Amino acid sequence: MSTPTPNYTPRRANWLSTNTQGSQALDLDPEAFDEGFGFDEIEEIAWDAAPLTQAAPQVETIDAAKVSVVVDNASKVYRIRSNSEHRKNTKRISRQVQKVLGSGWAEIPALEGLSFVVNRGETVGVIGTNGSGKSTLMKLLTGKIRPSSGEVYATSTPIMLGVNAALVRQISGRENIRLGCLAMGLSPKQAAERFDMIVEISGLQDALDMPLKAYSSGMQSRLQFAIATAVDPDILLIDEALNTGDAQFRARTKKRLDEVRAQAGCVFLVSHSLGTIKQMCTRVIWIEQGRMLADGDPEWVCSQYEEYTDHKSSGRMRSAQIVYDRTLLKLSPVQVEFEEGTRPTKAG
């Protein structure tokens, strides 16, 4: 059992030039606290001690030859009507509604000061518990919504592949493939050329002539995925679409994602399935309560996340908080810096 140090004050975030003090606190064992370790006492000492926290942001200079996506200190605050019963009943939201504005409007901070750079060839997993801000990040990347502050840049328009991508229920899978390709801007000739590849990825050879309404939701997702990847997108965003597939589909998907990566594109994959994330991704970003908590090696980030969610789901909230704080302390925050001519287009 390791001994907590008085230096442990991660919730008092303020920048230090090094995190040498912080590294001591990283050895904290959350289990120790759940065994009645005198947490309150320690916490009291900690709150009175000199604050330590994360390392200072490291300047990341953009390499125009490699960059795909830049998120530069982006925040998103939604505005909602605060008298909506649905909203009022949502625990997380009521906690988050910090400021009621003039005529019954309230603000919900969904993302706070996110900064990272993604280069070509990366497949970035995005994880986080429900409501942590993953879909909001995806919407910022596609330009569907604008950040409230900060900026999001992309070298080409990211293509979003979600479970809600439009398919027409009344027509066959075959016709949906053709229409979907045209809707994504391919010519009829290009659509015809890619037809076989789409069918192969979807694995729906035997169901091509059935109307889509006869497909299971998993079959529909597979078709959506296969169509969306047909355009060789430079930046592909996938929101949960892979979870419905079986092992064979996941293997084909991985092959296709590898091809996209090899063509110098980058892929974002939002998923609650850590197995999929670890299998597919070269890097994982963990967003929790709107903040970036970790950004790095898939195995390591997923293990921290698993520990955090295990504690949370068993009601060990203090332990979960310690894993949260400990993980945050290990994050090396990024400060984006553009040199002349390296700024990509704004998303959206």
Ligand X SMILES: Nc1ncnc2c1ncn2[C@@H]1O[C@H](COP(=O)(O)OP(=O)(O)OP(=O)(O)O)[C@@H](O)[C@H]1O
Among 4, 22, 125, 133, binds ligand X (CB under 6 A): 133
Minimum CB–partner distance for residue 150 and ligand X (Å):
16
Stretch that binds ligand X, among 41-49, 67-75, 123-131, 206-214 (CB under 6 A): 123-131
User: Which residue(s) pair with 203 in the sheet?
Assistant: none
The answer to whether 220 contacts ligand X (rule: CB under 6 A) is: no
CA atoms within 13 A on the CB side of 232: 9
Rank residues 164 and 205 by Cβ distance to ligand X and give the closer one: 164
In the complex, least distance from residue 296 CB atom to ligand X, rounded to whole angstroms: 19
Q: Which is nearer to ligand X, 124 or 191 (CB)?
A: 124
Which CB sits closer to ligand X, 133 or 173?
Answer: 133
Per rule CB under 6 A, is residue 131 in the interface with ligand X? yes
| Interaction between residue 163 and ligand X (CB under 6 A) | no
CB atoms within 10 A of CB 90: 15
Alpha-carbon separation of residue 114 from 14, 74, 315 (angstroms)? 16, 5, 28
**One of 28, 70, 108, 294 touching ligand X (CB under 6 A):** 108
Nearest-approach distance from CB 272 to ligand X, in angstroms: 7
Closest distance to ligand X from the beta carbon of 249 (Å): 22
Q: Which of 120, 134, 256, 311 binds ligand X (CB under 6 A)?
A: 134
Q: Does 130 bind ligand X (CB under 6 A)?
A: yes
Q: Report d(CA 347, CA 310) in Å as an integer.
A: 36
Pseudo-torsion of CA 186, 211, 239, 156, nearest 10°?
A: 10
Find out whether 313 and 297 touch, Cβ atoms under 8 Å: no
d(CA 243, CA 221): 9
Give per-residue burial for 276-295: e unless 16+ CB within 10 Å, then b. bbebbbebbbbbbbbbbbbb
Which x/- pattern over 58-97 shows residues binding ligand X (rule: CB under 6 A)? --------------------x-x-----------xx--x-
H or E element, residue 88: helix 85-89
Residue 140 CA to residue 270 CA, distance in Å, equals 14
**Binding interface with ligand X (CB under 6 A):** 78, 80, 92-93, 96, 108, 110, 128, 130-136
